Structures are given as C-alpha cells and as structure tokens.
Amino acid sequence: MYSFDSIVLIDDDPINNLINKRLIGKTNLSSNVDEFLEAEIALEKIINLNNQKRLLILLDINMPVMNGWDFLNQYEEKCPDRNDIILMLSSSIDFQDRKKSQEYASVKGFIEKPLTNEKLFEIIPEQVKNK
C-alpha cells in the first residue's frame, strides 16, 4: 500500500526533477510521480484534483514567474480543504527561508538539496505512518 496517491515535484530544473523522480521511484511512497517545471501549472492541476487524493508536494523556492512562496500563498488560498504534505526542497541555505516556510500551515518540512531518501524519510515518518 502506498502512502500517497501521487508525489508532485515542482522545480524549474529538469535535471533535478529527473534525479528526484528516479530516487522517489525506488521508494514505496507512491506509484505516481508528477513533475512540473512551472509552479502555476502544478497549482492548476492540484486545484482540479479530488480533495481525497493525498499528495506529497516537493516545492522549490526559487523559480521564475511563480516562485515557491507565491505558490504557497495561492495554494493556501485556493485549496483550503486539501490535506497535502508540502516539503520545501531548496538549495537555499538561508535561515530566513527555513523560518519563512514554517509560517505556512501546509508546509511540513524543509529539505536542502540534494534530495536523498534519508532526508525525505527523516521528515515524513509520522505522516507516512498515519496514512
């Protein structure tokens, strides 16, 4: 049994998405991994999903057009009934970014790139156990 109906990678770097998709594919967190280079397209898809679908969203901060903070602002406004787990996945080492991410109720953790299974499972064990 998978913990999530889908994992959503939102990062404007296609190489990062490819590596992360392969890494996540080796876990049994989900059989479906969707990748998006543009946060606004990911947000549109999420808005149109059934609220019962459980998502793990890995979100980069620094992206063109709509950055991670813009995504979070719109997500929390337009998806108040969703119960997804959002993890910030960023190369930022700025403590202020980590602190700012904690201001969002939907954000459950912050991972510094590169993503590893160890980093991922360190942050989500309780959410995975409560499937």
Low-confidence ranges of the chain (pLDDT < 70): 1-2, 125-131
Domain assignment present for 19: yes
d(CA 117, CA 44): 28
- pLDDT averaged over every residue in the chain: 92
d(CA 88, CA 131): 21
Residue 1 confidence (pLDDT): 52
Q: What are 29-64's pLDDT values in tens digits?
A: 999 999 999 999 999 999 999 888 999 999 999 999
Domain assignment present for 1: no
Domain count for the chain, please give it. Answer: 1
Residue 29 confidence (pLDDT): 92
CATH number at residue 42: 3.40.50.2300
